[in-house]
Amino acid sequence: MNELIGQVIIALVTDENEEAYFAQKDGVTFELKKDHLEEELAIGATVTGFAYENSSRELVLSTVIPKSRVGHFAFGEVVETRRDLGVFVNIGLPDKDIVVSLDVLPTIMKLWPKVGDRLMIAIEVDQKGRMWGQLADENIFRAISKGAKQEMKNQDIEGTVYRLKMAGTFLLTDDFYIGFIHPSEREAEPRLGQRVKGRVIGVRPEGSLNVSLKPRAYEEIGDDAEMIMAVLKRQPGYAMPYTDRSNPELIKSYFGISKGSFKRALGRLMKNGFIVQEEGETILTAKGQKDIEPIVDNDQDQD
């Protein structure tokens, strides 16, 4: 029987009652619920379906074929977690979720997948005929991925975390690129199966991506600071005659913000190394000139 579980089989319809058909394969009988079928079956007909044991320990045949099967990997959604067992993944069966054992999950439980996360799994069957979720390994993800090009640098990406290592986090983007997140490029370590958004900060020679989950510098500093940098970028010598000592009315007239807001914005910019104040002027540093370029390009496109 075990060799049939988790497989797509062709079975012979041998009996029925009001609720179900019964189909046999190699002497093993499976129940096929009528309310899961789009058309009636005749006794003696053959039916193709996915063979499994449901949560009530009944042998069932489903004509809805899940993508996750023995030897076939696909993403499924996490629907439940249990400290004593592992996480349950929905692969599309009407009355059975697949358990990924705690034995193959991270030792730190806060890094376990949460409800709504995704895991790429296949089915493996133990000696008792029970189905377990088999996590896809690095070879599987490399096999389904494609090589990235240098033009992807600075692009935004979304993807699913599939591997946690001391060296960093690996993810598969929605466009099937492999990405790597160094610990310095994240505020906190993502969970296994977590969906993340990031940006490409580099493309490796073999075609994988270096990804950062941190915001771009100009996204991090706030609207007022971004406006000040945009003004500086357009000034001769990247310098302007306004500092944290300037008259509040002049600041309000020129920038449209209060002196308090102006000083806070300058403080963020100086902390990030984007500006310096010298001899009554605020001056954009080389770092500031580089990091403000995306803003200037956007503004120029609008002109």
Per-residue pLDDT at 289: 81
User: Number of folded domains in the chain?
Assistant: 4
- Whether 141 is in a domain gets the answer no
Question: Which CATH number do you get for residue 79?
Answer: 2.40.50.140
- In percent, the amount of the chain with pLDDT more than 70 equals 93
Question: Which CATH number do you get for residue 16?
Answer: 2.40.50.330
The answer on 274 and 257 residing in a single domain is yes
Q: Where are the beta strands (DSSP E) in 59-155?
A: 59-62, 74-82, 86-90, 98-101, 118-125, 131-135
- Whether 1 is in a domain gets the answer no
Question: Which CATH number do you get for residue 226?
Answer: 1.10.10.10
The parent domain of residue 204 ranges over 147-212
CB within 8 Å of 60: residues ≥ 6 apart: 30, 31, 32, 33, 51, 52, 53, 54, 95, 96
Q: What is the pLDDT of residues 246-255, one digit of tens each?
A: 999 999 999 9
- Whether 253 is in a domain gets the answer yes
CA angle 211, 78, 127 (to 5 degrees): 115
Q: Are strands 178-181 and 209-212 parallel, antiparallel or unpaired?
A: parallel
Per-residue pLDDT at 2: 77
Query: What is the spatial distance between Cα 148 and Cα 164, in angstroms, rounded to a whole number?
Result: 21
Query: What is the spatial distance between Cα 268 and Cα 258, in angstroms, rounded to a whole number?
Result: 16
29 pLDDT tier (thresholds 50, 70, 90): very high
Per-residue pLDDT at 229: 87
| Cβ neighbours of 20 (radius 10 Å) | 19
288 pLDDT tier (thresholds 50, 70, 90): confident
74 pLDDT tier (thresholds 50, 70, 90): very high
268 pLDDT tier (thresholds 50, 70, 90): confident
